[in-house]
């Protein structure tokens, strides 16, 4: 018999019956986002295949690194755009 590690609460039962109500909590990149269920506070993220997976500490670290690299890339693109338009 498989035991669940998630706590049982009335909100959890609501999600079991009607499904989760996810909202985007963080835009990591244009394609990668982090989601949280409004009822049971379950956290998910998109993986490399575009599917939703549990937001584990490993995925949190990956998303933080990916967000840092993505913001640096956008900053470089903005400075190049302004440099070419000023010339």
pLDDT digits (tens), the chain, 87 positions? 555 555 566 777 888 888 999 999 999 999 999 999 999 999 999 998 999 999 999 999 999 999 999 999 999 999 888 777 765
Whether 33 maps to a domain, the answer reads: yes
What confidence score (pLDDT) does residue 59 get? Answer: 96
Whether 7 maps to a domain, the answer reads: no
Domain total for the chain? 1
Can you say how many angstroms the Cα of residue 67 is from the centroid of all Cα atoms in its chain? 11
- Of 61, 10, 67, which is closest to residue 39 (Cα–Cα)? 10
**Tokens standing for 25?**
């909590």
What confidence score (pLDDT) does residue 12 get? Answer: 76
Whether 15 maps to a domain, the answer reads: no
What confidence score (pLDDT) does residue 3 get? Answer: 52
Whether 2 maps to a domain, the answer reads: no
What confidence score (pLDDT) does residue 9 get? Answer: 67
> Is the CA virtual torsion 56, 59, 64, 70 positive or negative?
negative
């Amino acid at each position: 018999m498989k035991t669940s590690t998630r706590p049982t609460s009335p909100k959890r039962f609501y999600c079991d019956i009607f499904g989760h109500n996810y909202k985007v909590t963080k835009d990591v990149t244009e394609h990668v986002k982090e989601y949280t269920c409004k009822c049971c506070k379950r956290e998910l993220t998109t993986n490399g295949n575009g599917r939703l997976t549990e937001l584990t500490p490993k995925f949190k670290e990956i998303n933080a690194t990916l967000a840092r690299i993505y913001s640096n890339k956008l900053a470089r693109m903005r400075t190049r755009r302004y440099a070419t338009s000023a010339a």
